[in-house]
Structure 1
Amino acid sequence: MRIGVVVLPQFPWAEARARWKSVEDRGFATAWTYDHLAWRSLADEPWYATVPTLTAAALATTRIPLGTFVTSPNFRHPVTLAKDLLTLDDISGGRMIAGIGAGGLGWDATVLGQPELTPRQRVDRLGEFVALTHRLLTDGETSWRGDWYTADRARMHPAGSRQRIPFLVAANGPRSMRIAAGADGWVTTGPATDPDAPDALEQWWTAVAALLERFRGAARAAGRDPDTLTTMLSLDSAPVFSLRDLDTFLDAAGRARELGFTDAIVHWPRPEGIYAGDDRILDRVAELLVDGRLEA
């Protein structure tokens, strides 16, 4: 199982550059950042734009795949997103991964003055968003008239002339899982849980196992071999932060591996609040990677 790291876009580049380079130098498999305009409890803290951050990260690294965890239709349009992804993939030398989701109901959902959507509408929009973005990155010119998006002879050169950018779709429900089953893989944060509930951690892992089996079933129903698809779990969506200490991480990574996930991701520890932890635990995890006791 590969281990990736999320670097939140909270830091001036003079500081952030060292973090991105460190993720690569430490031997982690992938590096990610959120694609939000503001996010939850951090909405009033510094928060930088995703595409410039990934551009700079591509120039600060040489080997590690880079991705969005995750971009969404909340404030993106497939035409401009595809152009950004195409450019990022060129700058990074073919290292981009597009993590895509339906878009939450938080800060980004109404910032442009759009109405709040129902869950069904959000999944409908996601399906068209993924399909059109994929088409744009495959064809040199695309016209599209859909329920949610329009493209009029959108040029995307040199789309189709290079290796395709992988798409990983975030999904927990059956309809969104069917969309993920048609992509290159699936991302999950697991179920929403009450961290103060009795046995909250065990309940979360039981539900994660059920979600993985549901996705594997959706893949088979779509005529796909689930063993050929990426399955990625955010360990830090559990009721306990995975990098709280090394034992917590090893327990979480071991459970994810045993369930059959191909990838797991953790967040670079913050000094306080959400994802609060000690950077030295990330160092210990990296040492295990170097020693071959964890797969990257």
Structure 2
Amino acid sequence: MTTSEAGIRAGVVILPQFGHRETATRWKAVQEMGFAHGWTYDHLAWRSLADEPWHATIPTLAVAALATTTMKIGTWVTSPNYRHPVTLAKDLMTLDDISDGRMIAGIGAGGEGWDSAVLGQDDITPRERADRLVEFVTLLDLLLRQSETSFSGNYFDAVRARMIPGCIQQPRLPLVIAANGKRTMRLAASFGAWATTGAPLQKWEDRETLTMDQWWAGVARLVDGYNAAEPPEASLRYLSLDGAPVFSLASIDAFTDACGRAAALGFTDVVTHWPRPEGEYAGDPAVLEHAASLLGDGGIVGF
């Protein structure tokens, strides 16, 4: 029986907006609620929250790793916008050690915005972003599998980069590829793990102009595209429910409806966000707790 036939695993994003004590408390709470995985964003600044407190991703995940014992933890998602595979691989290897083999790396192409401009680099085209992602993931995979790697690419180089002692998880920690286009979906299929936030939009705010049915129709088209890339039967499929025009924890009915629709489309996992007091992902933490009460073993929402 596949996960989607039995139910669907659920995870929670905790934005890196808190000091280390509150961060540890929240991550521990997500594990105690029974969720399958916890995530944080990998941005230097993010959209409307750019002028709010925002901590670094890797130290945040180190705190999360020490605050939890069984729950998977990961990046939702890291990108080449300001990361280099060599330094990222070293960080990921170390996080896999700190977490005793529970680290997952969600990776995407990176869009335009704060992270793509902060280092003064020029804008690149969508095609170039796809090219860069393929090279980024290819090199990262090599680095995490090998004790020494040399590589020469169009975007990234490595000269005898050491990765010792390597990951706890072998042959390396899991890579989950965020993808919407044909080429990046083929990349995700080759790794057997795909993530999406829904059909791409010109602006993040444009999602508010969609109906829920329109958003889910876009997700269904993406599923068709991923299936066309011929992923392995056991491929993991992650959907961020909060790319939708309605926050998935706006009510418990919204959450259960979203989980059911995602499972029907073949997703193995869904991701929601810890509710914030206002603005992005505004909601009541009591709904998160109610959602947690629906979880069975392994963080699975059953139907």
Do the two structures share a fold, i.e. TM-score over 0.5?
A: yes
Matches within 5 A, 1:236-255: 236-255=242-261
Match in the other structure for 1:46: 53
**Separation in structure 2 between the aligned mates of residue 186 and residue 56 of structure 1, nearest angstrom:** 26
User: Residue 58 of structure 1 corresponds to which residue in structure 2?
Assistant: 65
Native 8 Å contact 1:270 1:276 kept in 2: yes
Matches within 5 A, 1:71-220: 71-159=78-166, 162-163=169-170, 164-192=172-200, 194-197=206-209, 200-218=211-229, 220=230
Which secondary structure state, in structure 2, belongs to the residue aligned with residue 32 of structure 1?
A: strand
Gaps of 5+ in 2: 1-7
User: 3-state SS of the aligned residue for 1:231?
Assistant: strand
Runs of 4+ in structure 1 deviating by more than 2 angstroms, as ranges, are 159-162, 192-197, 290-293
The answer to whether the aligner puts 1:273 opposite 2:279 as a matched pair is yes
Q: Secondary structure at the match of 1:108?
A: helix
Q: 1:44 to 1:4 in 2, by over 3 A?
A: same
Which one-letter code corresponds to 2:63 in the other structure? Answer: A
2:3 matched residue in structure 1: none
Please list every run of 5 or more consecutive structure 1 residues that lacks an aligned counterpart in the other structure.
none
Partner residue of 2:263? 257
Which deviations, in whole Å up to 9, do the C-alpha atoms of 1:35-56 show, x marking residues without a partner? 0000000000000000000001
Q: Deviations over 1:170-207 (max 9, x none)?
A: 0111111111111130000002464454x621011011
State whether residues 148 and 161 of structure 2, in contact with CA within 8 Å, keep that contact through their aligned partners in structure 1: yes
Alpha-carbon distance in 1 for matches of 2:292, 2:274: 12
User: How far is 1:293 from its partner?
Assistant: 7.9
1:37 aligns with 2:44: yes
Aligned residue for 2:262, secondary structure, equals helix
* One-letter amino acid matched to 2:215: W
Shift of residue 162, structure 1, vs aligned partner:
4.8
Other-structure match for 2:28: 21
Given candidates 228, 234, 238, the residue that maps to 1:228 is: 234
**RMSD (Å) for aligned C-alpha atoms:** 1.7
1:143-192 alpha-carbon deviations (Å, 9 max, x no partner): 00111111110011123775220000001111111111111300000024
Aligned pairs, how many? 290
> 8 Å contact 1:195–1:201 — kept in the other structure?
no
TM-score by structure 2 length? 0.92
What's the TM-score once normalised by structure 1's chain length? Answer: 0.94
Using the alignment, how far apart are the partners of 1:171 and 1:24 within structure 2? 27
Structure-2 separation of matches of 1:293 and 1:11: 28
Contact 1:140 1:160 in 2 (8 A): no
Contact 2:36-2:300 at 8 Å conserved across structures = no
Give the fraction of aligned pairs with identical amino acids, expressed as a percent: 59
